[in-house]
Amino acid sequence: MARYTVVTMPGDGIGNQVMPEALRVLKAVGFDADYIHADIGWELWRSEGNALPGRTIDLLAMHKLGLFGAITSKPKKEAEAELDPKLRDKGYVYYSPIVTMRQRFNLDICVRPCVGFKGNPLNYIRKRPDGGFEEPQINATIFRQNTEGMYSGIEWTNPPDNVRAALDSHPRFKAFANVPGQDLAVSARIITRPAAHRIITAAFEFAKKKGFKAVTICEKPNVVRETSGLMEEVAREIQKTRFPDIQLWRNNIDAQLMWLNKNPEDFNVIVASNLFGDILSDAFAGLIGGLGFAPSGNVGNEIAVFEPTHGSAPKYAGLNPPIVNPIATILAAAMLVEHVGESDKAKKIWDAVGAVVNEGKVRTYDMMRLTGGPRVLQQGAASTPVMTDAILAKLSV
């Protein structure tokens, strides 16, 4: 009997191409697990009216570990248009399955490492005053509050009377008082002290474990005073009472993005609310080669789900052989291994990926700055399985 059981959810598009590659790596590194396929994604929405069916929720509740591929999500009207005609006008509403999963299981701690591998031709570089170039070592981990903020899902177009009345009670709403309901859309940004405490504590604990000198909280308290203000208040309290030896840096979200273009190597641990953390992790990913190198973990008290941060890229899904970069999903699998305490195996995966990237002999089309399509293999790009083969070869050394 295997030591672990992992619920695999390939999802849509290229999720079905990268998931098998991650499983090949887990097997090669000796991770003792059984893998159970679970349904998730756009076709489930179209045929059943639910992109995250109850049978998948049950599997996650039972086995506690998930590895997820990618999801196709579309705006409200497009989603409704693609629903099976037999299901239309019956009250079905599309919700992002990954967001639903996070909230259903309170996977409130999102961890997104952005590590620049030496030799990656896509890495951030900057010009020196003497005309030369330097490539700073980027090693940042973004801690994103995963269940609240702007992604809480509490929103309306044409708010009902009781919501409208509550909005009317705020003096700042006078500017919108005469806007007809059908022309008014409202989304609630919700931050709670317990959730803020958990994500900020997780960031400080990670910094302490890794020996980093500072945690940066990235919000906008000068404008979004209540919610961002609460995040910063909790951060100051935690730093002062529990981690006085670790500095707390505070940057507004807009200023932080500017600093990313100046000295990204200065930032090792960043913590932010949901939307800001999402923006920051993608921005950092752009400095290390893009979303093909960006894994993510969604961690709760009992259940954890790991995923690449890229989308389903349906335009590439039908290519055979596949051309997409599997590294983000392979690193997500390494995060899963790290999560259950098998740090040596996780390190072997990260080191193998780093060795392949640094060697530079095998590169997917994105690493060669090619426009994706079936001809990239003729231009020297490695297919998805060939990249995995190279990583497996380094694991066996």
The reply to whether domains 1-116+294-397 and 124-151+190-287 share a CATH topology is: yes
CA 196/CA 227 separation, integer angstroms:
10
Query: What pLDDT shows up at residue 77?
Result: 87
Judge contact between 277 and 110, C-beta under 8 A: yes
How far is the CA of 33 from the CAs of 5, 51, 263, in angstroms?
5, 26, 41
CA nearest to 271, candidates 323, 345, 195: 195
Q: Is the pLDDT of residue 396 over 90?
A: no
**Separation of CA 80 from chain center:** 26
Q: Quick: pLDDT tens for 229-255.
A: 999 999 999 999 999 999 999 999 999
Q: Residue 190 in 3-state DSSP?
A: strand
Residues 182-205: what's their mean pLDDT?
97
Other C-beta atoms lying within 10 Å of the C-beta of residue 149: 24
CA 200/CA 246 separation, integer angstroms:
13
Residues 160-175: what's their mean pLDDT?
95
Q: Quick: pLDDT tens for 314-324.
A: 999 989 999 99
- Token readout for 259 is 């600093």
Helices and strands, number each (H, E), in the chain? 14, 14
Judge contact between 69 and 44, C-beta under 8 A: no
Q: Residue 269 in 3-state DSSP?
A: strand
Q: Quick: pLDDT tens for 376-391.
A: 999 999 999 999 999 9
Percent of the chain with pLDDT over 70: 99
pLDDT band at 118 (very low <50, low <70, confident <90, very high): very high
CA nearest to 215, candidates 202, 204, 231, 228: 204
**pTM for this one?**
0.94
At position 358, the amino acid (one-letter code) is N
pLDDT band at 101 (very low <50, low <70, confident <90, very high): very high
Sheet-wide strand order for 33-37: 33-37, 4-11, 65-70, 304-308, 295-299, 109-115, 139-145, 269-272, 214-219, 247-252
Residues 172-176: what's their mean pLDDT?
95
Bridge partner list, 35: 6
pLDDT band at 153 (very low <50, low <70, confident <90, very high): confident
- Token readout for 106 is 């309170």
Q: Is the pLDDT of residue 76 over 90?
A: no
Q: Is the pLDDT of residue 263 over 80?
A: yes
Judge contact between 340 and 4, C-beta under 8 A: yes
Give domain limits for the chain.
1-116+294-397, 124-151+190-287, 154-187
Query: What pLDDT shows up at residue 2?
Result: 79
Other C-beta atoms lying within 10 Å of the C-beta of residue 374: 12
What CATH number matches the domain at 1-116+294-397, 3.40.718.10, 3.30.565.10, 3.40.50.2300, 1.10.274.10? 3.40.718.10
Residues 30-38: what's their mean pLDDT?
97
Residues 3-23: what's their mean pLDDT?
97
pLDDT band at 261 (very low <50, low <70, confident <90, very high): confident
The single-letter DSSP state of residue 121 is T
Query: What pLDDT shows up at residue 248?
Result: 98
At position 161, the amino acid (one-letter code) is D
Residues 80-101: what's their mean pLDDT?
91
Judge contact between 188 and 148, C-beta under 8 A: no
Residues 2-27: what's their mean pLDDT?
96
CA 160/CA 163 separation, integer angstroms:
5
Query: What pLDDT shows up at residue 142?
Result: 98
| Cis peptide bond prior to 385, omega within 30° of 0 | no
User: Which CATH architecture does the domain made up of 124-151+190-287 adopt?
Assistant: 3-Layer(aba) Sandwich (3.40)
β pairing state of 247-252 and 133-134: unpaired
Name which of 93-102, 164-173, 183-192, 305-314 the model is least confident about. 93-102
Q: Across the chain, what does the average pLDDT equal?
A: 96
CA 226/CA 244 separation, integer angstroms:
25
Judge contact between 265 and 124, C-beta under 8 A: no
Q: Quick: pLDDT tens for 119-129.
A: 999 999 999 99
**Separation of CA 102 from chain center:** 12
Contacts of 170 by beta carbon, 8 Å cutoff, 6+ apart: none
